[in-house]
Chains A and B, each alone.
Chain A
Amino acid sequence: MLKTIIKKEVLETIFSYRFPLFAIICLLLIPLGMTVNQASYAKRVRDYSEQVRLADEAAAAIKIQDVMAGTVAVKGFRRPAPLSVFTQGFESTLPRYYEFTQDGFKPGESASDDESILSVQGKVDFVFLVQMVISLIALLFASDMVSGEKEAGTLRAMLANSLPRDTLLAGKIGGGYLALWVPFLVAFLLGTVVLMLAALPLFGGDATARVLIIFLATSLFILTYFTIGIAVSTSAAKARTSLVAIFIVWVAFQLIIPKLGDMVARLVYPVRTETAVSLQKSLLVRSLDIETAKELGRQFDLIFGAAPKGAVDDEKSPERKKWDPIRDDIQLRTRERKGQQLAAIDETYIQERRRQTNLAVNLSLVSPSAAFARFVADVCGTGELERAKYIEAVRSHQKALDNELFSKVKRTLMMHEGGGMSMSFSAMPVDASKLPKFSIVPASIAETFKANVRSLLSLLFWLIAPFAYAYVRFIKYDVR
């Protein structure tokens, strides 16, 4: 009985307007999305290779004098993610490189300013098309499949036979989805063939597994929306009501809930502006520097006040032997204090922002569309995880460079009582060719799954709950 229903659903969908429409849209949009992004990816990889080469050349030519002059800025570049052809995610928002200097790291430029993975700026990628176009079609088709049959009366005709309602529902969902899934499968394969022809590295490492995960996640996503459509239309008596309800559901999931999450989070956990924080930090640095310079000046005058001329430059003079450790000590303490206090300000700010972001993310995960987008972005290496890994790599690279390069030079600024200022240097040799290279450790598939538990739960919920709901409603559905 189930097989008969499924077969009929498949055939009926194929013969109706739904199948050709969906097939055309899939076959056009999905390979298009992948091609467009592939071209952009190729360009980014070329730029990346070129820039890394130039940066390496520049790094090898670093001389200790440059470090002393404080003009050294080492660049660390982020490799574009090959799977960004499926979803841009943060790919264009993340800085293309970071600059590492004596005073810390600074982000280089990025192509855009968006803070949210759920934004719809500048995107025509695979995930975006699935979210915006295919989800809508799945919803509308599902609704059509239930209300359409009711309107045509064939629902009654079927139930005049010895056909259990749950078999009917299962057959409808199974058959209808199957008829939609096949064109999707073909379109996806077509897209991957296009990517392979463009020599995208789809077979290295775990890339194949990831592509498969993307395919499965998308299939699940389509099934979810399809089921939601069926659930909505089994609860509406008239076709018109069900259409309106579906419309509201789609708009809510795609456009409103993600933004709403942001809005509510901003209202509940307001955060200081970056300007205010920067101001706080620069005021702190200024005051600490002045304090230190004054202290150094005082000590210097104390020790060298009565010393013979040239004692400063003579490393072996007794004054120097007294001065050097005191100076180093003061500078060390200042560095530590500065580091601690700046870090404290940063930490507080990061906590504030994290609280806000977490709330926004959690709220947005109510929408299965948002959950899907986040999950796939992480699988492709263009999501939140990548952002976190990037910063991790940047921090550890800064530490490494501090050890290998920047700490080899010490600059001492002194303010003397009486208003004078003086500066002195000390330097150790540096082997520029031995400097560590910047690299980001990508998140493994296991890590991705672990970090996306909430997204996956949301998707599963939206698959199971509507199905259960449809089941219950359909048993009582008035077929007259």
Chain B
Amino acid sequence: MAKQQPILKADDLSKRYEDGVLAVDHLNLNIYPGEVYCLLGANGAGKTTTINLFLNFIPPTTGTCYVNGIDVTKDPLEAKKYVSFVSENVMLYGNFTARQNLDFFAKLGGKTNLAKNDYYQVMRRVSLQEKAFEQRVKNFSKGMRQKLGISIAVIKDAPGILLDEPTSGLDPKAAEEFLEILNELKKEGKAILMSTHDIFRAKEIGDRVGIMKEGRLVMERTREELQYEDLVKIYIDYMKSEPLTLS
């Protein structure tokens, strides 16, 4: 790959909470444009905290997060222009329709001149049913919510995309559709960081896979490397082994 700048970069990132828990322990990540990086780990491994650190929802104890080269703690507003976020339970306004939600978040993301058709196009692209466009989202299934969530990321058209366990709770068909969209976005050149504990999907979609355990990145493999190794076995081995440190 060309010597590009990483869109999402974590530089010796650490986070210790007030109650003493070390959630992230000297994390180093570099995610380049056009790649999908899957972050695996058990619950409490630090995946969600990492994402929260990238979004400046919490300040780091040491180290820095960079989005598109911008330090997120020093200039959060600027940094957030370059990253989209899809959370595990997509957060939407229940009393608004899909289009109204999309419209609002698009405007927040800086896209203020879009028309109704532009929204329809994006929603079609993520395979959301036509009849759902003008329906209130409080009646949406989980799959529909995820699709709307990704369409919000699509419409923002930011170079970096953060996803927090996006396929958890989705039925296989919906999960497949979702990952197809991610693939397309990757081909468009987006840098995608996806946290998950779905090993199978991670192996499918990830250009690189990392395993987090107790805040540390204990393993990182590329797709090529994983063809020769059994990711499942590696993962379970790591999960079963003695705890690295007592935090």
Contact = CB atoms under 8 A, between A and B. Distances in A.
B84 A160 contact: yes
A154 interface: yes
B229 interface: no
Given A153-B87, A153-B89, A480-B52, A161 B108 contact: yes
A3 B93 CA distance: 18
Interface in A463-479: 478-479
A154 B92 CA distance: 6
Interface stretch (B99-107, B172-180, B218-226): B99-107
Interface stretch (B37-45, B74-82, B236-244): B74-82
B110 A159 contact: no
Contacts of A160: 55, 80, 83-85
A460 interface: no
Contact of A157 (B77, B78, B91): B91
Interface residues of B, number: 29
A164 B104 CA distance: 16
A158 interface: yes
B135 to A, nearest CB: 13
B234 interface: no
Among B83, B89, B91, the one with the most A-chain Cβ atoms within 10 Å of its Cβ is B91
Contacts of B114: none
B57 interface: yes
A146 B85 CA distance: 21
Given A4-B104, A8-B104, A12-B93, A162 B77 contact: yes
B96 A157 contact: no
A156 B81 CA distance: 15
B57 A479 contact: yes
B96 A15 contact: yes
Contacts of B77: 162-164
Interface in A1-21: 1, 4, 8, 11-12, 15-16
A152 B87 CA distance: 12
Interface residues of A, number: 22
A480 to B, nearest CB: 6
Interface string A253-290: 00000000000000000000000000000000000000
Contacts of A157: 85, 87, 90-92, 105
Given A154-B91, A162-B80, A480 B57 contact: yes
Contact of A161 (B57, B80, B91): B80
A156 B87 contact: yes
Contacts of B91: 152-154, 156-157
B78 A11 contact: no
A11 B108 contact: no
A64 to B, nearest CB: 81
Interface string B178-203: 00000000000000000000000000
B108 A163 contact: yes
B236 to A, nearest CB: 29
A154 B108 contact: no
Contact of B78 (A4, A15, A162, A478): A162
B104 to A, nearest CB: 5
A152 B108 CA distance: 18
A438 to B, nearest CB: 61
A104 B107 CA distance: 75
A154 B78 contact: no
B169 interface: no
A1 B77 CA distance: 13
Nearest to A154: B91
Nearest to B88: A153
A194 to B, nearest CB: 33
Contacts of A153: 87, 89, 91
A479 B89 CA distance: 15
A8 B104 CA distance: 7
Given A12-B93, A15-B95, A161 B87 contact: no
Contacts of A158: 105, 108
A8, A153, A160 pick with most chain B CB within 10 angstroms = A160
Contacts of A162: 77-78, 80-81, 108-110
B94 A152 contact: yes
A230 B156 CA distance: 30
Contact of B105 (A11, A15, A161, A478): A161
A158 B108 CA distance: 7
18 contacts: A4-B108, A4-B112, A12-B93, A15-B96, A152-B92, A152-B93, A156-B57, A156-B91, A160-B55, A160-B83, A161-B110, A162-B81, A162-B109, A162-B110, A163-B108, A478-B58, A480-B52, A480-B58
Given A12-B96, A480-B52, 15 more contacts: A1-B107, A4-B108, A153-B89, A154-B91, A156-B91, A157-B90, A157-B105, A160-B55, A160-B83, A161-B108, A161-B156, A162-B81, A164-B77, A478-B57, A478-B58
